[in-house]
Amino acid sequence: MKVAGSHPRHRLDELIHSPVRFSVMATLASADQAEFGFVRDLVEVSDSVLSKQVALLEEAGYVTVRKGYVGKRPRTWLALTATGREAFHRHVAVLQEIAATAVPKGER
């Protein structure tokens, strides 16, 4: 039965879909936590872009930002929340679902 809003596309998480945020989430998903500078260099974004995108992810409750020191130098650590991890996995599952779209023969 065909229902409005049933295409998996509607279940994509817009916040995660942007390439930068997707990459940041993927990075954090593979580690308990990561330094701001490490993520910035790995994902290859500017300080300002990472800072702003992380603020959005934090607002959404997907990422936590912890500030501390390494010696006397300030350092910021990023980590996924449980919610963020779930949202990321769900988003990836939806992408796969879309990518694997199967149109039955006869229909087209």
Partner DNA sequence: AAACTACTTTCCAGATTGTCAAGTAGTTGC
Partner DNA sequence: GCAACTACTTGACAATCTGGAAAGTAGTTT
Binding residues for its own copies, per CB under 8 A?
A: 2, 4-10, 12, 17, 19-20, 22-23, 26-27, 29-35, 38, 41-44, 92, 95, 98-103, 107-108
By a kind-dependent CB cut-off of 5 to 8 A, residue 62 interacts, out of its own copies, DNA, none, with none
The three state secondary structure string of 32-58 is CCEEHHHHHHHHCCCHHHHHHHHHHHH
By a kind-dependent CB cut-off of 5 to 8 A, residue 81 interacts, out of DNA, its own copies, none, with none
- Regarding 14 and contact with DNA (CB under 7 A), the answer is yes
- Asked if 24 contacts 43 with a C-beta cutoff of 8 angstroms, the reply is yes
Per CB under 7 A, which of residues 28..87 are in contact with DNA?
35-37, 45-56, 65, 67, 71-76
Q: How far is CA 48 from CA 36, 42, 53, in A?
A: 11, 15, 9
